[in-house]
Amino acid sequence: MPFWLIPGDLLAITPVLAFTNPRKLKKMGMQSANGGLIPWQTGIATRIGRFQFMLGREIGLSFYGYASDQNVVIPTPGVAPVNQTVVRLRSIALDVPILEWRIFRTFSVKQSSALGIQFYAGFDRPTSSSVVEPAGAPKPSLHTIVTGGVRVVFDWRHYRP
């Protein structure tokens, strides 16, 4: 989501400026789409693709085990009969893209396609757990896992006339 100065600022200011100064709101919206007041998120076109600093522009949030019960099998040496514990788990995962590289993007009348690579960081924090089986097995010690990675995205769309 584009922002003018800080993430979420357009969501907060839109109701006020829409009635008091719509011209200012339009100017802020156009400026935010081009990188904001401080244009550190402006896309940089190069011969090898387009780069854009994404920090604060979007986030991914996942709620594991909140919609339905999710069980995880954890190897547990010494727990009879099969050296494993089944645990019901709930966790919240957050990932934040840092840099995006759009290698190519093409458009035509009926279709468009793009190939992009995103570098991201995040974490997965368990919020609750309980042992399902075997009865009496010790509850495992769970901790937050910090992640980082590369996401490759191919986007192809076909438009009907």
Express each pLDDT in 115-154 by its tens digit.
Answer: 999 999 999 999 988 888 888 788 888 899 999 999 998 8
* 85 & 103 share domain: yes
Closest CA to 59 of 12, 9, 93, 90: 93
Residue with tokens 């190897």: 75
Number of folded domains that form the chain: 2
Give the Cα separation of 17 and 60 in Å (integer): 29
Q: What is the reported pLDDT for 109?
A: 80
Q: What is the reported pLDDT for 81?
A: 76
* 104 & 33 share domain: no
Express each pLDDT in 99-120 by its tens digit.
Answer: 999 887 787 888 888 899 999 9
Q: Which two tokens stand for residue 95?
A: 């990932």
Domain residues for the domain of 32 are 1-39
* 103 & 63 share domain: yes
Residue 107 backbone dihedrals phi, psi, to 5 degrees:
-130, 150
Give the Cα separation of 151 and 135 in Å (integer): 40
In degrees, to the nearest 5, what angle opens at C-alpha 51 toward C-alphas 46 and 52?
145
Q: What is the reported pLDDT for 84?
A: 85
* 109 & 34 share domain: no
In degrees, to the nearest 5, what angle opens at C-alpha 94 toward C-alphas 44 and 144?
130
Using left for φ > 0, alpha for ψ between -120 and 50, and beta otherwise, residue 83 falls in left
Closest CA to 35 of 10, 54, 15: 54
Q: What is the reported pLDDT for 149?
A: 94
* 51 & 86 share domain: yes
* 131 & 154 share domain: yes
Express each pLDDT in 63-112 by its tens digit.
Answer: 998 888 888 888 888 777 788 888 898 999 999 999 999 887 787 888 88
Q: What is the reported pLDDT for 73?
A: 87
Give the Cα separation of 124 and 145 in Å (integer): 5
CB 10 within 8 A of CB 28: yes
Give the Cα separation of 55 and 159 in Å (integer): 31
* 69 & 34 share domain: no
H-state helical runs in 64-149: none
Q: What is the reported pLDDT for 34?
A: 67
* 28 & 74 share domain: no
Express each pLDDT in 31-51 by its tens digit.
Answer: 777 667 667 777 788 899 989
* 66 & 121 share domain: yes
* 102 & 27 share domain: no
Q: Which two tokens stand for residue 79?
A: 């727990």
Q: Where are the beta strands (DSSP E) in 66-110?
A: 71-75, 84-107
